[in-house]
Structure 1
Amino acid sequence: MRPIHSITLVGWAIASGLIDFGAWAAPPAPPGKAVQAGVSGDEAEARAQFQAGVAHFKKQEYPEALEAFRRSLWLKKNRNTMGNIALCLKQIGQYDEALEQYEEMLREYPKLPPKVEALVAAEMAELSGLVGTLAVTGDAPAGAMLFIDNRLRGKLPLEKPLRVSAGSRAVRVEKEGFAPLGMTVDVKAGMESVAELVATSRKGRLVVSERHNWVLRVELDGKDVGVTPWQGLVEAGQHEVRLHGFMRVEALAACEAPGVAAEEGAKVASGVEVASVTLYEETRVVLGAEEQDASLRVDSTLEGTTVRIDARVVGRAPWEGRLPLGEHVVEVSADGFFPAKQVVQLERRKQRELSVSLERQPDLVAEARAARSRKIGVGLAYGVGVAGLGVFAVAGGLALDKVHDLNARCPNKHCPSTEAGNQRAAAALGTAATVGLVVGGLGAAVGTGVLLVTRPGGSERRLGPSVSAGVGLGSFEVKGRF
């Protein structure tokens, strides 16, 4: 509906007693003069603002008139002033507020003169045809401020659809810490319109702190995002949060809250908690971190040995440090010794001490030397044995031939003097064969004894029996030591 022309409106307002130039009994005091008796300073100022509003209204300066009437009403509540505010709001197209102003006036002054009451009812009926209602849905965050055409209309959620003037309306929702939401809605008179807001950035605020106020690293969905206390905008949905870091041992013992994150010390961490972040809402997560390290001391029977823990070199024995709770493999090693491994289970607030003994490795050089000596000794012994048996075979054969010849030439074993040389040769060959047999047997026996008594990995001093043999003309001597 088209607004009433200003001259007609002023005439109607004066006739109805809304704009009443005689509503105030006395004019305001001139500048520099004292306010006349019986009129307070606020009342005089209210009268002056009222008259200023009337002057602006007559000039069709409706925004200025509205401001002056509002100042007057703030200083002194007056029925006429409230009606004049409603008239100004109607003239500038804020029909919803004009209707609300009339409603407030009726609540404050329920008994109006009949003529005024009828005119106000007619105005309200006209204004009702110029407004619609607006509901706000969608991604509308609770507690956000709702603005319609840059005018604050309250907080979300609305108790009921909001009455607004018909036409194209700019809807904006603002919540501290988040990006504003906005859209334009075409409001139809006498109907309910819906502003369904859609957030382009679907995020909420996550606030993470540690129960003891420790400053620890914040791990969000497996990524380091900062230190506690931490807050930031994250995508709406579920997120895994974990705290980890270090606490100096002295601060941990005194339960102190450090000002900055420690780079070394006792390892502390929290469990993983799943935080459900809601769009445009703040989600708080408080995690309690616990000590994750225990103290371990590693000693060895040999100082300076290398200490490895979980296959990583950590130092030399004696070694002491802190490790995460749970099972660890400790290995101690040194040149010339067999490495020693041991599994330890570390528990919270318990110190473990580990003593490791090392066993010396055999001397590989001496072992090789002994192996060579064993081979040489066995070879010599069997060689001598073979040579002795060869002498036995050759000398024995020749001795048998000589004996057969002598038996043929010496009946009844009585040989003439001419056979004395042959007899001596036969005896010498027999002696040589015997010596060869004995030497061959001893060589084989000594070689076999060396193989049976000596062991791989031993040294030359670990060889078994010691045997020596001597051979002379017509004699044989064997000496041994076990």
Structure 2
Amino acid sequence: MAGWIVALGLLGARAEAEPPDTAAQIDVSGDEGEARAHFERGVAHFDQQAYREALEEFRRSLAHKKTRNAMGYAASCLKQLGQYDDALEQYEAMRREYPKLPAKTEATVAADMAELANLVGTLALTGDTPDGASLFIDDRFRGRLPLDKPLRVSAGSRAVRVEKEGFAPITRTVEVKAGRENVAELVARSRKGRLRVSERHNWPLEIEIDGKDTGAVTPWEGLLDPGEHTVRLRGFLDAEALLSCEVPGGKPGEKREATRQGAKMESGVESVSVRLYDVTEVVIGAEDQDASLKVESAPTGARLWIDGNETGQTPWQGRLPLGEHTIEVRAKGYVSARQEVKLERRKQREVTVALDRVPQEPGFWTASRVKATATTAYGVGALGIGVFAVSGVLALSTSADLKEACPGGLCPPDRAGQKERAHAFGAAALAGLIVGGAGALAGTVVLVAVRPKGEEQRVTAAGTAWKVGFGHFGLSAEVSF
């Protein structure tokens, strides 16, 4: 301390020995006078060891005019008050302002700074460090988060406080050790974020958050748990309210009983991400839902998309904004169908969508192939039966003649040829019978056992199914209700 005071005295004596700059004195004489008066009062307080009062006077002097003496005394006051980090910063500011200090002053400043460096540490913050929050250490404002670099802090027990408007403060006591980097992990007791909701047209509508009615109307602001949330607006507005953007008897944000008169207004579901100790603002546009749509399909239970969003299953009924909409119906095994609908105010639109079955790839046994095969089989069978009938008649006739000509089974030699013909006709009849039976059986099996593919089926809106195809004996039609 004595060395620093001697150095300042030498600087002051040298300054008095130098001739004054008259022009500069004329321009800033008032500030110089105020600066000198505060400086002298500061020195008087300093000599009385009233360092806090002295520091205040030196700061006032510096506010009028920066001088090396005032900056040096201010740093010395801060050191005496135990604010070693501020004292070190004051010396650094002095060096930046006066980079070429006299040798003795530079030696004194360097010695003081080396001593102060062993009395301070650095402090880094982790954990809950909300952007834009104000940081206080020992009730002294030290900047806004996030920090560019660790803070220089005097060693000892330090009270850390983080404040942000609209949220509870985060506090922590940290024991700062000199000469090292210290870390303070901040933990917020009230882990909340703030959500601000407004309607694009300034309509006061009821607010749903995560599917639950909050009882408030837009515009609204409140605390929520951090994370993902969904927001939807809904309500009713009469013509007067639509024009004035007000609901009679309701004020923005206040809880009230919902009115069920006028045009129904509703927004889509908006996803928002609420961050800890941060304000998230969402502006949602509601639309007039004063039109309803009813969608049915055949078959029922099909999945329904409206304007590209899956809505549910058919039959479905609900309110939608006025104007053009695209509906799409899908069901397994059926070709999806898309249709454009236009909704008008105060009118319900009913739409019935009929789905076609997905066409199947034709297999080997098509209807035409089944018919041709059965026809051929029955033709062969008919031919065999014809051979059986003709050969059987000839065989019976020849056998009757032989029976008369050969009493007792003894035939003369001239009847040998007739006897062979009778055997041939019998064999032919038997072969015709076998072929005829096989053909008839094959044709029947093809018609009964083989189901032809490629049948067309159509489902109408009324739920009536019509099916056209080839049956056992040709073209067939089937209807079911």
Same fold (TM over 0.5): yes
Letter of the structure 2 residue corresponding to residue 149 of structure 1 = D
Task: After TM superposition, list the pairs within 5 Å mapping 1:62-461 onto structure 2.
Answer: 62-221=51-210, 222-249=212-239, 251-252=241-242, 256-258=244-246, 263=259, 264-294=261-291, 325=319, 348-352=343-347
Shift of residue 44, structure 1, vs aligned partner: 1.0
Which residue number corresponds to residue 16 of structure 1? 7
Which residue of 33, 47, 61 maps to 2:36? 47
Shift of residue 20, structure 1, vs aligned partner: 6.0
Shift of residue 259, structure 1, vs aligned partner: 5.8
Tell me the distance in 1 between the aligned counterparts of 2:128 and 2:208: 28
Tell me the distance in 2 between the aligned counterparts of 1:92 and 1:239: 50
Tell me the distance in 2 between the aligned counterparts of 1:54 and 1:19: 15
Q: Deviations over 1:159-206 (max 9, x none)?
A: 010000011100000001110000100000011111110011110010
Tell me the distance in 2 between the aligned counterparts of 1:54 and 1:274: 63
Tell me the distance in 1 between the aligned counterparts of 2:62 and 2:14: 13
Letter of the structure 2 residue corresponding to residue 349 of structure 1 = E
- Asked if the contact 1:294–1:325 (Cα under 8 Å) also holds between the matched residues in 2, the reply is yes
SS of 1:202 mapped into structure 2: coil
- Asked if the contact 2:4–2:108 (Cα under 8 Å) also holds between the matched residues in 1, the reply is no
Tell me the distance in 2 between the aligned counterparts of 1:353 and 1:180: 54
- Structure 1 residues 217 and 19 mapped into 2: Cα distance closer, same or farther (>3 Å)? farther
SS of 1:40 mapped into structure 2: helix
SS of 1:223 mapped into structure 2: strand
Q: Deviations over 1:440-466 (max 9, x none)?
A: xxxxxxxxxxxxxxxxxxxxxxxxxxx
- Structure 1 residues 22 and 45 mapped into 2: Cα distance closer, same or farther (>3 Å)? farther
Tell me the distance in 2 between the aligned counterparts of 1:259 and 1:82: 63
Query: Percent identity among equivalent residues?
Result: 62
TM-score (norm 1): 0.56
Shift of residue 271, structure 1, vs aligned partner: 1.4
Tell me the distance in 2 between the aligned counterparts of 1:25 and 1:54: 17
- Asked if the contact 1:16–1:119 (Cα under 8 Å) also holds between the matched residues in 2, the reply is yes
- Structure 1 residues 75 and 234 mapped into 2: Cα distance closer, same or farther (>3 Å)? same
Tell me the distance in 1 between the aligned counterparts of 2:177 and 2:5: 33
Tell me the distance in 2 between the aligned counterparts of 1:179 and 1:19: 53
- Asked if the contact 1:21–1:51 (Cα under 8 Å) also holds between the matched residues in 2, the reply is no
Q: Deviations over 1:100-140 (max 9, x none)?
A: 00001000100011111111111111100000000011011
Q: Deviations over 1:387-433 (max 9, x none)?
A: xxxxxxxxxxxxxxxxxxxxxxxxxxxxxxxxxxxxxxxxxxxxxxx
Tell me the distance in 2 between the aligned counterparts of 1:150 and 1:112: 34
Shift of residue 40, structure 1, vs aligned partner: 1.6
Tell me the distance in 1 between the aligned counterparts of 2:99 and 2:348: 91
Shift of residue 55, structure 1, vs aligned partner: 0.5
TM-score (norm 2): 0.56
Letter of the structure 1 residue corresponding to residue 245 of structure 2 = A
- Structure 1 residues 84 and 286 mapped into 2: Cα distance closer, same or farther (>3 Å)? same
- Structure 1 residues 69 and 286 mapped into 2: Cα distance closer, same or farther (>3 Å)? same
Tell me the distance in 1 between the aligned counterparts of 2:41 and 2:221: 52
Number of equivalences: 289
SS of 1:17 mapped into structure 2: helix
Q: Deviations over 1:296-319 (max 9, x none)?
A: 9xxxxxxxxxxxxxxxxxxxxxxx
- Asked if the contact 2:12–2:69 (Cα under 8 Å) also holds between the matched residues in 1, the reply is no
- Structure 1 residues 124 and 77 mapped into 2: Cα distance closer, same or farther (>3 Å)? same
Letter of the structure 1 residue corresponding to residue 6 of structure 2 = A
Q: Which moved further from structure 2: 169-178 or 261-270?
A: 261-270
Tell me the distance in 2 between the aligned counterparts of 1:251 and 1:177: 32
Tell me the distance in 1 between the aligned counterparts of 2:7 and 2:234: 76
- Asked if the contact 2:241–2:247 (Cα under 8 Å) also holds between the matched residues in 1, the reply is no
Q: CA RMSD in A?
A: 2.7
Tell me the distance in 2 between the aligned counterparts of 1:271 and 1:39: 66
SS of 1:119 mapped into structure 2: helix
Tell me the distance in 2 between the aligned counterparts of 1:294 and 1:159: 56
- Structure 1 residues 117 and 294 mapped into 2: Cα distance closer, same or farther (>3 Å)? same
Tell me the distance in 1 between the aligned counterparts of 2:208 and 2:115: 62
SS of 2:291 mapped into structure 1: strand
Larger radius of gyration: 1
- Asked if the contact 1:16–1:116 (Cα under 8 Å) also holds between the matched residues in 2, the reply is yes
- Structure 1 residues 295 and 53 mapped into 2: Cα distance closer, same or farther (>3 Å)? same
